[in-house]
A and B are shown apart, each in its own frame.
Chain A
Amino acid sequence: MNNKKSIILTFFFIAVIIIGISLVSCTNQSSKGMIIVARVPVDNFSFNEENICHNFPGACLMAINLAESAGSEINLTPDFYSACFPQISYDAKHLLFTGQKSKNDPWQVWEMDLKKKKSRKVTDFEESCCTPDYLPGERLVFSREMPDTGTGPSRALFTMNLDGSNLQQITFHPHINYVQTILRDGRILMLSKQIFPKKGEIKSLAIRPNGTKAEIFYKGIKGSIAGVRVRETGKGLIYFTEQDTGKLKKRDIVSIHQNRPLHTKVNYTKDIAGSFYSVLPASSKELLVSFCPSGDQTIGLYTFNIDDKSVKESLPGGSKYHFIDPVLVEPYERPRNLPIMELNLSYPTGLIMCQDINLTALTGNNGESIPKATKIEVLGMNKSLGIVPVEEDGSFFLKVIADLPFRIRTLDENNKVIVSSSDWIWIRPFERRGCVGCHEDHELAPENIVPLAVNGWPVLIPVDTINSLEKRKTFELGDMH
């Protein structure tokens, strides 16, 4: 009898295990191959040249299995008025998106559990938030509308823990900023446009998640508009769409290489009629794209072959909707988790040095070289923060109030402007930053010399209008930062 019992028990456990495995297998199979895409009502879809990023009222997020026949779409956000900008977590278990519960709500960041299909609110501000993306270490980054302080509407990037704690603003310049992606090296790539004192060109800047070391990553030809979402492959190719400067405002698929982004742009679709609105690498040869073949058609999902440039329809938009921003529900390699310890938020200042302000990629009229500058002027939002003589070798060394945006221009001994203002810079608390020159070639490494300026103490910015060397020496003695 005991033997019989043992045998029955054994078979029972085996059966339980088999059923359990098959259930698990079923669950995994159901999410494989799925993509999530924003479905946007045709009437609510418009690209205004001034707006480089759009939230689409009435949009929803659809989960679609492209391998199955039509009818397999699932609306993931039926209880939202609008939902767009999906972004998958590294383990493919969660999804960040931008949404509105009702029409007049400010856009906020939400996170969905993809298994339970339940969403929770991540941000809860009066201002609108959008373009969220995951950061390593259970954090996220997103763009948030900033109060207008007289510079016009701007947007800054913020990081936060996924549980809503530890909110940190990480950009401080008068720009409109949107998160494009998190690069594999751990930096945030952001689409950025200056709004003050005058509107600037759209550029992509790379920045560390603690807001330090912002630098130019990519800029298109003048007047072009890069798409917000970019996707980096495991081999370092970064795909995105870009609107050209022609009358048709055609949008093409372009790529740059992470190793040398300023000079490796490839346009894959300039000879293809129609516009592309988003791109997702599906394999080494194929991209899943949002494409509109002509002005009277809607945007659907297509497969683009990089080799033969063919475009094949996967999911047409239909008459009422466009499909944009596809993401694949698959785990992917987490970017590097860059250390944040370099910052010390209790420090009110940061340091910046330049090797030689006369090292520049600019040339004068008719290609002649720029006259030598002997001073710099640090410009704040509305006033000069000080004029500082540089050292004989053209170097300077400043201690600036942290998180205060400023620009630098170079002057001659008569305070005449030699090189006009740089882009906006900010230094985070306890950050140390270095530059090679002024408007220098961004691919130039520094010469191996001791900049004369760092042999002494830094000059505090803001300072009085005129700053003498003697006055500088008495600054900051005992204040060793």
Chain B
Amino acid sequence: MKKKGLIYLFIALAVILLLGVPAHRMSREHVNYITAVEDHPLNCFSCHLYIQKDNFLAKLVNTTYLSPFNLAVSPDGGKLYIVAQEGDVLVVIDSQSDQVLDKIPVGKHPHSVVLNHAGNTAFVSNQWEDNIYEIDLNSLNVIDTLKTGSGPAGMVLSKDEKFLYVVNSFGNEVSVIELDSKTEKKRLVAGNNPTGLAISHSGDLIYVSSRRVLPRPARAPVKTEMTVIDATKQRVKERKMFKHAYMMENVEFASTGDLAVATLIRLKNLVPSIQVEQGWMMTHGFGIIETGEDGRIIQLLTDEPNSYYSDPFDVVITPDGEKAFISSSGIDVINVIDLNKVRKLIAESTPEELKTYSNHLGISSRYVLKRIPTGANPKGLVLSPDGKYLYVAERLEDRIAVINTKTLETEKHIDLDGPSRITMARKGRRLFNNSGRTFQNQYGCYTCHPDAAEDGVAYNMAGVGMGRNVTNTQTLRDVGDIPPFKWNGHNQSVYKQDGMRFSTYLTRTEPYNYDELDALVSYIVTGIINPPNLAYNPTGELTEAQKRGEKVFFRTHTNCGKDIKPKDRCYVCHPPPDFTNKNFENVGSLSESDDSIPFDTPQLNNLSSSSPFLHDGRAKTLEEIWTTYDPGDRHGITSDMTKDDLNDLVKFLRSIRDARYYTKYYSEEYEELLKEYYSNNEYRNLK
């Protein structure tokens, strides 16, 4: 018996060895390919557990956090109302006892909350539902739903509380909602991707801050709009331009009435990206808008020569107008600004000096009083009514920091009762939103990929030489299934995209270690989804024009009846569900300053919100892709189209939603066309 046991043991060992050695080699090769390094631990979980999206394993591994984003405080200071962006709830906190009193379910991806002066009503904007919930704060129930434009974000009440002004961040408008009738009375055009707004203390002016730059010719200097609304006439009074700046997430008026402060980033996309030192890629700060007649715009930095305070998000000003608090969400810091020193600096400086100061990394020493460390990703700020406390939404901690505005020290944290365990994807999200892994903290992933999308700007990435190969930022939403990555398709996985070359040419500091890379990949692949395309395709039912456009997209013959070669048909390079064939194509879009390479076909999901277009961002609109930049029918056959055909095609392209809506089959009518071109294997791979 003993001998038999030994024999069995020997056989088992031999089998393990025979299978194990080649299996190990295969695993090693597989992991080396995916990660593009040769020493990543052979850990199956990194790829095969933490990047599961929506199956049983994903549910096991992941969890839903609250992610507090913006907040408001009751007029008596006794309660805090916190928008939980991921949790889709409004959290009500007793600010004295720190107790969570309630979590009121609200709509999808809520953005902001405002209270009326009496403190008995709250309005919550649901950015992914295109509406606002009106909540009775006595019963803590939703009592009404107000329709808005696309992507409602920041809100303010008029001084008499008769109107609610809501920024529609996807629609580039401000809705004016009459609260008596609960109807939208007006819609005002405002900037590009506006998110913040503030009303002056007199109530006659509203400033609306935009995040994205205005459309402009390729390689032209950028500018971003601050829309000024005359609140009495409810009309746009002025469009102030911030040159060389963008990502103005929020704005606030000083009670003194002399100025408003907006957060902003001064980007350097036109400068060859050859170094990080000396503020070469991004600088961060705030804009001062003088409210008087002929009021100037002055931009100043919060950065220092060897330390940057990235992604400024929110700004609040003390009731006496003397101090401003800015949440630098990329580096977990609140910058405390002495506004009197800013006023003095502005008063004593010539216009030339002020222009220099907008790029001066040492100037912040004149007005930054202190930098208060916070938890991960500080976003929305609110001051207590007496100005004694600053409440900070620490988004990736699921808690609120309470800072004493006199001592400028953190007194306590209020836990919002979110999940206690930190998932791999959450760790990855923290890394994504933190610039600590870039040289001198100058920028993080979020800086160029706000909300994990793209910032609408093309960069001189200086891949070869200095003036060549300008590239348009690409979205990171739902990219897990569409390798390869980068416009030139050089990176076969997200691992490689964020690995050694990323640290050499972008972050210019020590690369992520493998644990961090696993976490970052987990977040990028599983944690970033497209918002619903409510503006153009809310239900999946296409309009007549979109249906006509769909026909154009799937056409196989020109208007004259001539056969269109498969390689020139839209659907061949851009098949659903991701509307990319994940192959390299040359569509004649190279410019003189591009190296002669084909590009990895980009996906078209949620295209409507991602201008400009083409690899270098030279097409300001979808139409321009063909009307201006494709005279030779190299990017599909469009020269025979009428203007209506092109309009319809564009309408269809705008209607394309997230890939998950196209996974089963696209439509019977066009399924055959897809199967005709792609072999069974290829077609299965597309899905």
Contacts and interface: CB of A to CB of B under 8 A. Distances in A.
A185 B277 contact: no
A434 B270 contact: no
Interface residues on A, range: 35 or more
Interface in A428-478: 432-434, 436, 441-451, 454-458
B251 interface: no
Contact of B279 (A355, A433, A446): A446
B232 interface: no
A443 B360 contact: yes
| Most-contacted residue by chain B among A397, A432, A436 (CB, 10 A) | A432
A370 to B, nearest CB: 15
Nearest to B440: A185
B359 A444 contact: yes
Given A481-B464, A481-B465, A445 B304 contact: no
Interface string B510-540: 1100000000000000000000000000000
A442 B510 CA distance: 25
Interface stretch (B188-196, B261-269, B579-587, B673-681): B261-269
Majority SS of interface residues in chain A? loop
Interface string A181-223: 0000110000000000000000000000000010100000000
B275 A448 contact: no
Interface string B4-40: 0000000000000000000000000000000000000
A433 B509 contact: no
A358 to B, nearest CB: 14
A259 B268 contact: no
B306 interface: yes
Given A260-B304, A260-B365, A263-B362, A446 B271 contact: yes
A59 B165 CA distance: 76
Contacts of A258: 306-307
A162 to B, nearest CB: 19
Interface in A99-153: 136
Contact of A447 (B307, B359, B362): B359
Contacts of B466: 351, 353, 397, 432, 454, 458
B687 interface: no
B349 to A, nearest CB: 15
B306 A259 contact: yes
Contacts of A186: 509-510
A449 B269 CA distance: 8
Contacts of A213: 275, 277
A234 interface: no
A441 B360 contact: yes
A353 B271 CA distance: 10
Given A260-B305, A432-B462, A339 B271 contact: no
B306 A339 contact: no
Contacts of B360: 441, 443-445
Given A443-B360, A446-B268, A455-B467, A259 B307 contact: yes
Contacts, number: 138
A460 to B, nearest CB: 13
A102 B606 CA distance: 74
Contacts of B301: 445
Given A353-B272, A446-B271, A263 B365 contact: yes
Given A342-B504, A458-B465, A443 B267 contact: no
Interface string B277-320: 11110010000000000000000010011110000000000000
Contacts of B306: 185, 258-261
A341 B359 contact: no
Nearest to B269: A448
A445 B359 contact: yes
Contact of B305 (A259, A434, A446, A454): A259
Interface in B408-456: 439-440
A336 interface: yes
Interface residues on B, range: 35 or more
A339 B272 contact: no
A338 interface: yes
Nearest to A217: B306
B467 A446 contact: no
A296 B301 CA distance: 51
B509 A185 contact: yes
Interface string B462-494: 101111000000000000000000000000000
Given A185-B439, A215-B278, A448-B222, A443 B244 contact: no
A445 B161 CA distance: 44
B440 A432 contact: no
B503 interface: yes
A480 interface: yes
A441 B353 CA distance: 13
A259 B308 CA distance: 9
A432 B274 contact: yes
Contact of A432 (B275, B283, B503, B510): B275
A342 B505 contact: yes
B361 interface: yes
B508 A338 contact: yes
B270 A341 contact: no
A433 B508 CA distance: 13
Nearest to A443: B362
Contacts of A449: 221, 270-271
Given A185-B509, A339-B511, A342-B504, A480 B465 contact: yes
A381 interface: no
A457 B511 CA distance: 32
Nearest to B356: A444
A290 B221 CA distance: 55
A262 interface: yes
B481 to A, nearest CB: 29
Contacts of A215: 277-278
Nearest to A342: B504
| Most-contacted residue by chain A among B439, B440, B500 (CB, 10 A) | B439
A446 B362 contact: no
B219 interface: yes
Nearest to A457: B465
A442 B305 contact: yes
Contacts of A261: 305-306
Given A259-B307, A434-B274, A444-B359, A341 B501 contact: yes
Interface in A229-263: 236, 258-263
Contacts of A397: 466-467
Contacts of A443: 278, 305, 360-362
B460 interface: yes
A434 B272 contact: yes
A84 to B, nearest CB: 30
A72 interface: no
B310 to A, nearest CB: 14
A222 to B, nearest CB: 21
Contacts of B503: 339
A391 to B, nearest CB: 12
A337 B510 contact: yes
Interface in B176-216: none
A334 to B, nearest CB: 9
A447 B283 CA distance: 11
Contacts of B277: 213, 215
Contact of B509 (A338, A341, A355, A434): A338
Interface of B: 219, 221-222, 244, 266-272, 274-275, 277-280, 283, 301, 304-307, 356, 359-362, 365, 439-440, 460, 462, 464-467, 500-501, 503-505, 508-511, 593, 595
9 contacts: A185-B440, A263-B362, A432-B462, A445-B268, A451-B272, A454-B460, A454-B465, A458-B466, A481-B464
Given A336-B509, A351-B466, A481-B465, 10 more contacts: A186-B509, A215-B277, A236-B307, A259-B307, A260-B361, A263-B362, A337-B510, A444-B278, A447-B244, A455-B467
Interface of A: 136, 185-186, 213, 215, 236, 258-263, 336-339, 341-342, 351, 353, 355, 397, 432-434, 436, 441-451, 454-458, 480-481
Task: Please name the 3 residue pairs, one residue from A and one from B, whose CB atoms are nearest each other, closest first.
Answer: A445-B279, A454-B467, A432-B274
